[in-house]
Amino acid sequence: MENPHLDPIFHLLLNGPPRSAREIEARVGLSRVTAAQRIRQLQQGGLIVEGESFASGGGRPARSWRVNPHHRNLIGIDVGEQMARVTLLNLALEPLEDALAEIDLRDDPARTLETLAACAERLARGSMASAPVAGLGIALPAPIDYPQGRIAKPSVMYGWERLDLRNLLRTRLEMPVAMDNDVNLMCLAEQQLHWPDTRHLVFIKAGTGIGCGMITDGHLLRGAFGTSGDIGHIQHSPEPHQLCRCGKQGCIEAHAAGWALARDLQAQGFDCRDAREVMQIYARGTPECRALVNASSRIIGTVAADLVAVLNPEVLVVGGTLSGAGEAMLAGIRERVYQRCLPLATERLQVACARGGDRLGVLGAGMLARARLSEPR
């Protein structure tokens, strides 16, 4: 799916349930002998282990194969504007150890990078007791030139585009490093973990900022220069327009993002600085906050409707801090989508909240690192 060079059997088992040899043959399109031979190789290499046998269907029950989650570990890093999460994961992407680092993307990039690297190094050393770390993935809140493995342009990461982040981390930590945009990776993680059979999925992240990731035909859509999914600065219709942090007027971020809601709550006398605090106030049932979240969900819904019309996904997932509002956030989005899109596009559309929680970013990052695992060479 994401990486064509990956050993197809290992890939299949990494991203799916345990399977019998017969299923594997059918899915990867190999003959029985070859599949059996490869399965044995993977088993001998410790990459996969035998799982529970399937129930018999009248004959000998099939053995099942699954990845050995303890064969290697991975490190996922999710870089936010004020915080980074660094997580040690096993091959099944189960978190083994978490570390949160307070950072500030406006600081000197070299210093922040050192904080992250030190954090990852500590986790890697701790990992040696169970399994060596096979790779690191890093999710960044910036457009990424994916083929080049570089930050495409500053955005909120001023000065970072000059750093060859991937190579610096690779030589420092002595492991393969992969990087991508954070929303893309959240989208990937949500799809792989919760919607494995969905080939067309749109993921909207509504947090401090607003962005989206798209999977079409099973592939993450990255765009020509890594700026795809930049929906935060799409123009919003109803006046009066608010000034956006990008300098323009009336971007949906300026009306519906976490920072905008915090601004509006402050103006109403609340002590509120970011999306997280918006959700805390929301959780208390504060009417002013509920009204703001409802309005926000409808604004996000207008853009969601456009995305549905253009991309025709099967599933629309809403994640990010504001998705903590749950059904309230979905209601406004559903309202606008069903109002504005043609029935053919919506009659089989599912709209849901992300289920990955705070860890979606590191999970996606780990997934990216994992996908690189059995590349040739």
Partner DNA sequence: ATAGTTTTGCATATTGCTTATCTTAAGTAG
Partner DNA sequence: CTACTTAAGATAAGCAATATGCAAAACTAT
What minimum distance in Å lies between the beta carbon of 37 and DNA?
7
CA distance 361 to 86: 10
How far is CA 59 from each of CA 18, 54, 302, rounded to the nearest angstrom? 19, 11, 55
CB atoms within 10 A of CB 312: 17
Kindly tell me the burial class for residue 268, based on how many C-beta atoms sit within 10 Å of its own C-beta (0-12, 13-18, 19 or more): exposed
Regarding 309 and contact with a second copy (CB under 8 A), the answer is yes
Report the partner that residue 246 touches, choosing among DNA, a second copy, none (CB closer than 5 to 8 A by kind): a second copy
Residue ranges in 226-285 that form contacts with a second copy under rule CB under 8 A: 226-231, 233-235, 237, 246, 248
250 or 356: whose CB is closer to a second copy? 250
Regarding 355 and contact with a second copy (CB under 8 A), the answer is no
Using DSSP, state whether 126 is helix, strand or coil. Answer: helix
110 or 310: whose CB is closer to a second copy? 310
Q: Say whether the peptide bond before residue 313 is cis (omega within 30 degrees of 0).
A: no
* DSSP string across 297-336: HHHHHHHHHHHHHHH--SEEEEESGGGGGTHHHHHHHHHH
Residue ranges in 14-33 that form contacts with DNA under rule CB under 7 A: 20-22, 29-33
Contact residue for DNA among 4, 44, 57, 285 (CB under 7 A)? 57
The 8-class DSSP code of residue 70 comes to: T
Task: Supply φ then ψ for residue 169, to 5 degrees.
Answer: -70, -35
| Window contacting a second copy (CB under 8 A); options: 7-15, 34-42, 43-51, 223-231 | 223-231
| Window contacting a second copy (CB under 8 A); options: 98-106, 128-136, 325-333, 336-344 | 336-344
Say how many residues touch DNA, by CB under 7 A. 22
- The amino acid present at 301, given as its one-letter code, is G
Regarding 53 and contact with DNA (CB under 7 A), the answer is yes
Regarding 5 and contact with DNA (CB under 7 A), the answer is no
Residues that bind DNA (CB under 7 A): 20-22, 29-38, 53, 56-63
